A and B are shown apart, each in its own frame.
Chain A
């Protein structure tokens, strides 16, 4: 009997099962973290979005799809989505183009490139709030930027206060903040492009532009995909810059989705509707990421 049971036990703990257990034990901390701080909140947000939650009056009533109906009828939502799209597209296009340009320039074997690499990367390690607050001072009507423009005889606009320039200013502040990170990723990718391919192309008579377009660009396309996903997702979550620089104004011109949901949930105490807006944000981020992932088959040439 004892022999039999120990035999079955021994048979149960096969090497395979023991390896599996070890693996589960190893991933448990990360899994618990993800469950507690990602999946659980996600489920709760969806749950909250089906309720009307008045914190002060201490009422939490199930309202079904009421918040989603409100979302469909909310006159502010189209403007908010437009502002979000403007910000994201502006940021992604400018950021990736500038990052790639800098990476290509700094990939040359010239003296001093290290200095420039450090220079362009340094904003990434600056605290986001400090960076934004300083830019806030620079962009004031009587601030540093207009002071410099004044010195060369240009009457600069009131950057953060006029509808036309506020969003552009916020985008540019954010581009300068993070372009270094993408630049470094591009640099790494560029250095991974085998020199032999360039030499072969040149031997075949390709000019520099042709080499870049037909050799370099396809080979770094996985990095372009990666940076574009990171940048798109990051751009949809922009908050601190808006909160510090414009508070969504002038008018509603810089009220992006995250800022609008912050206003609804935390300033207007409409937690249920705020949760509904974050479900919308989640849907948009998910859809865009899936789309980009699908498109990789078309424009990512080289994938390992």
Chain B
């Protein structure tokens, strides 16, 4: 009998614990707190977000917005775990890699009525974030990749600086030269580190290579353009020593490499009084000039407790006026703001021609980094099947065939 009683008591106690956990739901009319997950804890970013939220509070005194900065490495994992745990954020930033998963899953509410002057958004910027013609997330950051150049290292090595129209052959030769003469590394593809291969799109797009076809069904790794691009990359790494080999750490922004391919939002990592630098567009490949953009989206989760209030705040956060403020950190998708004049005010470190060449032209005809539904699993399969490529004397076409063999079943899902 007592055993039964203690059992009941235990269950009752557990029940009350869980009830407490879910009990802080505010009534529909009372004050509400919206939680927006981001991957930026940069104090300057947070200050701007907070000021936008404070301004919103003057007209919506009941609404408080909290910005919850999560580490970017596990960002999507953390957000999905929060959703699984019944603690979904009201508004979430979404990395482009997981965009198809979020957009297609039905986890987001449509933002068609929550964006002011939506006709102003650049089609190249919104393509990834639409489902059946509806905008499911707002691409608040559309940041093209460019090449940052350490001019001090180039001068020290006596190598002439890259111009805004240059080729991959020239880039590899210059990187190899500077590396040899200065003892530093040549060209670093930032955040690639032989793991996040999607950053290699900044190179292989120059050969018109693609990871998979536009409909996401056909693997592109074993196609001739990719084989040529990867052969070039392999030679640049292991023969020309133009790029750091696997396991070699080199941070451009700490002065450890001559050049780096990175998004222009990384400009904030350059310190006043550090080394001399310049920014040039990606080199042209055999297929001509090209540009690649990385994006961040902003979506309202259906599972959040206050979805309609959240959509209301998103309308304010993304309004033309706030978009112009956000432009100092995140290149906006609004065409009316994509001019050197607006951007120059926001990015004092960049010269007008750099903004025109890299940012404005880049967004106009940029291709977004590869993404796919189930991208985490596909990316992992690509990473592990690409690993045999990263050693001297690798059989490039053979390895790339292996990549297709590994991901074909996943693409077909």
Contacts and interface: CB of A to CB of B under 8 A. Distances in A.
Interface of A: 21, 24, 28, 31-32, 35-36, 40, 53-58, 137, 140-143, 158-162, 247-252, 255, 263, 266-269, 271
Nearest to A140: B247
Contact of B246 (A21, A141, A255, A269): A141
Contacts of B387: 249-251
A266 B84 CA distance: 10
Contacts of A28: 6
Nearest to A21: B2
B376 A268 contact: yes
Most chain B C-beta atoms within 10 Å of own C-beta, residue among A32, A251, A267, A268: A268
A54 B376 CA distance: 14
A249 B383 contact: yes
Contacts of A24: 2, 6
Contacts, number: 88
Contacts of A54: 105
A51 to B, nearest CB: 12
B107 A56 contact: yes
Contact of A160 (B247, B302, B385): B247
Contact of B380 (A35, A56, A143, A267): A267
A158 B246 contact: yes
B77 interface: yes
Interface in B53-96: 76-77, 80-81, 83-84
B247 A268 contact: no
CB-CB nearest 6 A-B residue pairs: A56-B105, A141-B247, A250-B387, A56-B107, A268-B377, A57-B105
Interface of B: 2, 6, 10, 13-14, 17, 76-77, 80-81, 83-84, 101-102, 105-107, 194-195, 245-249, 302-303, 374, 376-377, 380, 383-385, 387-388, 390-391
B238 to A, nearest CB: 12
A55 B391 contact: no
A57 B384 CA distance: 28
A32 B248 contact: no
Contacts of A247: 195
A162 B246 CA distance: 10
Nearest to A17: B2
* Secondary structure of the A contact surface, majority rule: loop
Given A56-B107, A58-B107, A267-B377, 17 more contacts: A36-B14, A36-B17, A55-B83, A56-B102, A57-B107, A58-B303, A140-B248, A140-B249, A141-B245, A141-B247, A142-B248, A161-B194, A162-B391, A247-B195, A251-B385, A251-B387, A268-B376
5 contacts: A35-B10, A40-B14, A53-B84, A161-B390, A250-B390
Contacts of B391: 162
B41 to A, nearest CB: 19
A271 B14 contact: no
A249 B381 CA distance: 11
Contacts of A56: 80, 83, 101-102, 105-107
B77 A266 contact: yes
Contacts of B102: 56
Nearest to B73: A243
Contact of A142 (B2, B13, B249): B249
Contacts of A21: 2
Contacts of A159: 247
Nearest to B388: A251
A126 to B, nearest CB: 22
A32 B2 CA distance: 16
B384 A251 contact: yes
Contacts of B83: 55-56
Contacts of A255: 384
Contact of B374 (A250, A266, A268): A268
A38 to B, nearest CB: 13
A140 B248 CA distance: 6
